[in-house]
Amino acid sequence: MFEANSAEILENARRDNFAGFDPFDGLNSKLFKLAPSLKKGVFGLAWIQLHKRSILNLRPVLGVPKARNPKGVGLFILGLLEDHKRTGDAAFLDEACTLGDWLLGQKSDQSVWKHACWGYHFDWNARAFFVPKGKPNIITTVYVSQALYALGTTKGEQTYIDAALDAASFMVETLYTEADGRKFFGYIPGEKAFVHNASLWGAAWVAFVGSQQGNCRFKELALAVARQSVAEQGEDGSWVYGARHHHQFIDGFHTGYNLEALHIIRKVLAISEFDEAIERGLAYYKDKLIEGDGTAKYYDNNPYPLDMHSVTQVVITLLKVSGKFEDQELARKVIDNSINTLYMPNKNRFMYQKHKRFSNKVDYMRWTQAWVYYSFAYFNRTIAERNETN
């Protein structure tokens, strides 16, 4: 069942040439050509929320086209590489290279940012900031870099590797921030808000590149940033999303991001300093953010909305951070539950979210289907390798 569903997700993406809609792409509407200034401020924020929250997909009517998202493409590359490892089929690798070449052409303007980095394919109006299309952000850059590095090492192509490694310099030179007594990586250039998952992912990639290149400055900076988030971990092992008043919530997939990033740091730097924080965080994650029936909860105090983003990060976190047999089986249980609750067999894809009283079945490429393909392909490969050794 797992292979069938990941294959169906991939085939659907291929039919659309890996282009799709996104929860936050409302400002791509052609209507804004008439009044571009409305993208900013309250109107633009409300417009994005309308598209994100509506159970009807208004985008085709309001002139929002399907498009490729660099992060989504990076996730598909990671999934294709997992399927290539599992099957040995060179077609998966060839397809990943085609997507990798596209990503190389989608870098944010290097005359401005000096190093390899990537942003979203839409203007993004959030409560804290307005981000124009293409302005780099740390999360997109990290996932694209991971995908390109993995592709480059698999294919033996230095061009991919060089771009991925260069991204760490962008993070250090442009995103490293000291504010309000903290040392951290910002989500976007110039933003002073402290968010754990963004900062830790930056630290993880800078640590990885520092380890690859023997760059002590990068490794020390990554450690300082990681220590900041570990120092602010709750006694129960939890992390709130960030430092601002509207960031005081605990959710599943960002907690998973934190754990995965810390695990990468301890692995690439060969340190045990964060072991206790990771173990406490993983215990909290399994106890408070995964229910007994395999439901991946959105918040620690509320499972709703059920969301495949929460599901897929559970799978990745349990396999990468733990890897124990019982956690592999817990990941299987979470996948089974998601197929029962969020999969639409008549459409061969997963819905966006299920709330208590209604479901949002809009098809989102980056937020939903790309994550599903990558996490399921990773699960398939992990279990196949486990079965081979038994």
Answer yes or no: are the C-beta atoms of 319 and 382 closer than 8 Å: yes
Which architecture, in CATH terms, is 108-288? Alpha/alpha barrel (1.50)
Three-state SS at 133: coil
The packing angle between helices 371-389 and 325-342, to 10°, is 140
Instruction: Give how far the C-alpha of residue 67 lies from the chain's centroid of Cα atoms, to the nearest Å.
Output: 18
pLDDT at 12: 96
Under DSSP, the state recorded for 251 is B
Q: Biggest alpha carbon distance in the chain?
A: 63
Q: What is the DSSP string of 1-14?
A: -HHHHHHHHHHHHH
Return the closest-CA partner of residue 255 out of 205, 187, 196, 334.
Answer: 196
pLDDT at 126: 79
pLDDT at 130: 87
pLDDT at 358: 97
pLDDT at 125: 85
Walk along the chain (390 residues) and give the pLDDT tens digit of each residue. Answer: 455 478 999 999 999 999 999 999 999 999 999 999 999 989 999 999 999 999 999 999 999 999 999 999 999 999 999 999 999 999 999 999 999 999 999 999 999 999 999 999 999 987 777 899 999 999 999 999 999 999 999 999 999 999 999 999 999 999 999 999 999 999 999 989 999 999 999 999 999 999 999 999 999 999 999 999 999 999 999 999 999 999 999 999 999 999 999 999 999 999 999 999 999 999 999 999 999 999 999 999 999 999 999 999 999 999 999 999 999 999 999 999 999 999 999 999 999 999 999 999 999 999 999 999 999 999 999 999 998 887
The four Cα atoms 76, 257, 142, 321 give a dihedral, to 10 degrees, of -80
pLDDT at 3: 55
Predicted model pTM: 0.97
Answer yes or no: are the C-beta atoms of 293 and 340 closer than 8 Å: no
In degrees, rounded to 5, the angle at the alpha carbon of residue 139 between the alpha carbons of residues 136 and 144 is 80
Under DSSP, the state recorded for 299 is B
Please, which residues have CB within 8 angstroms of residue 231's CB and are 6 or more apart in sequence?
none
Answer yes or no: are the C-beta atoms of 119 and 70 closer than 8 Å: yes
Distance (Å, rounded) from C-alpha 378 to C-alpha 390?
19
Residue 224 burial (10 A CB sphere; 0-12, 13-18, 19+): middle
Report domain extents, the chain: 1-16+69-106+290-390, 26-66, 108-288
pLDDT at 263: 98
pLDDT at 141: 98
Distance (Å, rounded) from C-alpha 345 to C-alpha 343?
6
The four Cα atoms 180, 182, 186, 190 give a dihedral, to 10 degrees, of 40
Q: How far apart are the first and last CA of the chain?
A: 21
Question: Which residues are bridge partners to 124 per DSSP?
Answer: 131
**Pair of tokens at residue 130:** 């307005």
